[in-house]
């Protein structure tokens, strides 16, 4: 197990370095941040721009800037934002919990809905319930998340006035963002759970379990669901990682102070340190989630532990 973890950690380090290198290079192709930050009066001279570049450190060669970033990354010191001079680590510390909490709630909503609905569809194959669940899944897949978010705001915030339209406050502020992401995720997860359960329920050991007189709930949740858990864990893990990186649209619609909003603003301002830090932290988390998924394989299936 130790050798496996060391191997995966080395792979993770390589992946993070590769991602940060590509992002650091690509963002510098978008333009000169000194042009956007120039606040001097009168005509803009090359000396003015050079003075700003020196203060930002962008006058140095790219490799020097990147190595400086890597050195700071080890201690989670990502420098200071070009826009205001605020510590990037403090900005990440404020935005990351908001994104994580919203992602966890959305994922919980999705799993809590998709597993029972998927099992119901699999055990009622061809019935009206199965057809209704599959139609719900198809409709959910057809909704763009920004459209669904906008419709929820129009209905529950503007028309009915039940929920706050934006911002992060009390419990009510989480409802619409979590429902938006949860419904979209559930639409995909229901189909996966249904397909996995249909295949598992046809296995011989399920027939043996039923022949022994075990209750249907024990057959479904203790035997069938556990044995089809590997593809579910894999997909849920990858989905959560993708959720962290792709939640920017929802955060913009609901004015959510998370990592997506921080990254969007950094791109618009060509704020290199902030964007590099956001991508690095998200990459570390996604790689970590994938590692936890691999570890979970062994906890769920003893045969993988043995191998």
Task: Give the pLDDT confidence of 81-115 residue by residue, as tens digits.
Answer: 887 778 888 988 888 888 888 888 888 888 888 88
Q: What is the model's pLDDT at position 246? A: 65
DSSP state at residue 279: H
152-182: per-residue pLDDT in tens? 888 888 888 888 888 777 788 888 888 888 8
pLDDT in tens, 4-24: 667 777 877 888 888 888 888
> What CATH code is assigned to 88-306?
1.10.3720.10
pLDDT, one tens digit per residue, over 196-252 is: 888 887 777 777 777 877 777 777 877 777 777 777 777 787 777 777 766 777 888
Return the SS3 of 214. Answer: coil
Burial of 102 (0-12, 13-18, 19+ CB in 10 A): buried
What local confidence, expressed as pLDDT, does residue 297 receive? 64
pTM for this entry: 0.74
Query: Using CA atoms, how far apart are residues 215 and 213, in angstroms rounded to an integer?
Result: 6
Structure tokens at 239: 């989905």
User: Which residues are CB-neighbours of 135 under 8 A, at least 6 positions away?
Assistant: none
Q: Which residue has the higher pLDDT, 45 or 24?
A: 24
Structure-block tokens of residue 214: 């075990």
């Amino acid at each position: 197990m130790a050798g496996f973890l060391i191997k995966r950690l080395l792979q993770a380090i390589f992946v993070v370095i590769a991602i940060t290198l590509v992002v650091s290079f690509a963002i510098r192709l978008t333009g000169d941040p000194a042009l956007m930050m120039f606040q001097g009066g009168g005509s803009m001279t090359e000396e003015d721009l050079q003075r700003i570049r020196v203060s930002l450190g962008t006058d140095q060669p790219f490799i020097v800037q990147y190595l400086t970033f890597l050195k700071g990354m080890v201690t989670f010191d990502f420098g200071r934002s070009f826009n205001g001079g605020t510590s990037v680590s403090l900005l990440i510390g404020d935005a990351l919990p908001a994104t994580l909490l919203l992602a966890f709630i959305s994922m919980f909503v999705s799993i809590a809905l998709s597993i029972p609905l998927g099992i119901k569809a699999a055990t009622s194959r061809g019935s009206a319930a199965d057809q209704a669940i599959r139609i719900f899944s198809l409709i959910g897949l057809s909704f763009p998340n920004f459209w669904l978010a906008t419709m929820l705001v129009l209905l529950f915030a503007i028309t009915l006035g039940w929920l706050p339209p934006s911002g992060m406050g009390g419990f009510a502020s989480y409802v619409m963002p979590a429902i938006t992401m949860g419904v979209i995720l559930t639409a995909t997860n229901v189909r996966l759970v249904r397909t996995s359960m249909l295949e598992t329920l046809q296995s011989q050991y399920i027939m043996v379990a039923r022949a022994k007189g075990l209750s249907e709930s024990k057959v479904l949740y203790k035997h069938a669901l556990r044995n089809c858990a590997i593809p579910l864990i894999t997909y849920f893990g990858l989905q959560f990682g993708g959720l962290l990186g792709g939640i920017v649209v929802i955060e913009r619609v609901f004015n959510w102070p998370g990592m997506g909003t921080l990254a969007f603003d950094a791109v618009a301002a060509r704020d290199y340190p902030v964007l590099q830090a956001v991508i690095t932290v998200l990459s570390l988390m996604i790689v970590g989630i994938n590692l936890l998924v691999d570890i979970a394989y062994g906890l769920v299936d003893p045969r993988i532990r043995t191998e």
